[in-house]
Amino acid sequence: MDTTKMSQPAPNEAKIQAIFEDFYTKAFADGILGHFFFGLDKQRIITFQTAFTCQMLGIPGATPYRGRGLKQAHADLPPFKRVHLMRRRHLMREVLEQHKVPADWCELWQAKEHALEALVTSGQSSTAQAQASCHKNKPTST
Ligand code: HEM
């Protein structure tokens, strides 16, 4: 997508960080996703996820991403099932709307995340991989 034609300028790094503060507050407390995060450092994940997303969206001048590759970062977690991926999409959509991210930026952000789901699950068990790739062409709205 040509981001020069977007309705408004890109969200900046501070806004993206605020979005992930809210997203991970929800995710850590969530009945479907919370167990993945037991005992983990929320602020560290927010910092990495913010830098990753700035890079993903091409935000100029943002802090570079210095986290692990997505396959490695998720490899030791319990396998993600479709319900987990769909729940993450749903919570992200909720938070993007709460922060009034313009619709075209929401669409671009979520499309890029959805395209990475197969990579995120690729170091996990074959069952999880099969589920993610089997559903990758299904509609992305929740
Ligand atoms: C159901 C889906 C997902 C769950 C439950 C999940 C969970 C997690 C958890 C628990 C961590 C921390 C790992 C650790 O500290 O050892 C993490 C890290 C991370 N996740 Fe996810 N994740 C999901 C999907 C995604 C997707 C789709 C993306 C890409 C947009 C993503 C990007 C990241 C990044 C950038 C990190 C930091 C990497 C690092 O720790 O070095 N995740 N995720």
The reported pTM is 0.89
Who contacts 59 (Cβ-Cβ below 8 Å, separation ≥6)? Answer: 10, 11, 12, 13, 16
Residues in CB range of 85: below 8 A, 6 or more apart: 117, 121, 132, 135
- Domains of the chain, by residue range, sit at 9-134
Best mutation site among 23, 87, 114, 120 for ligand 1 pocket (most ligand atoms within 8 Å of CB): 120
Q: What's the gap in Å between 134 CA and the centre of ligand 1?
A: 20
* Ligand 1 center–CA 74 separation, angstroms: 6
**Of 95, 103, 82, whose CA–CA distance to 50 is shortest?**
95
* Tokens matching residue 28: 């850590």
Pick the CATH number of 9-134 from 2.60.120.590, 1.20.1290.10, 1.10.490.10, 3.40.50.300: 1.10.490.10
Per-residue pLDDT tens over the stretch 55-68: 999 999 999 999 99
In this predicted structure, what is the pLDDT of residue 2?
Answer: 74
Express each pLDDT in 87-139 by its tens digit. 999 999 999 999 999 999 999 999 999 999 999 999 997 655 555 555 544 44
What kind and span of H or E run contains 115?
helix 103-121
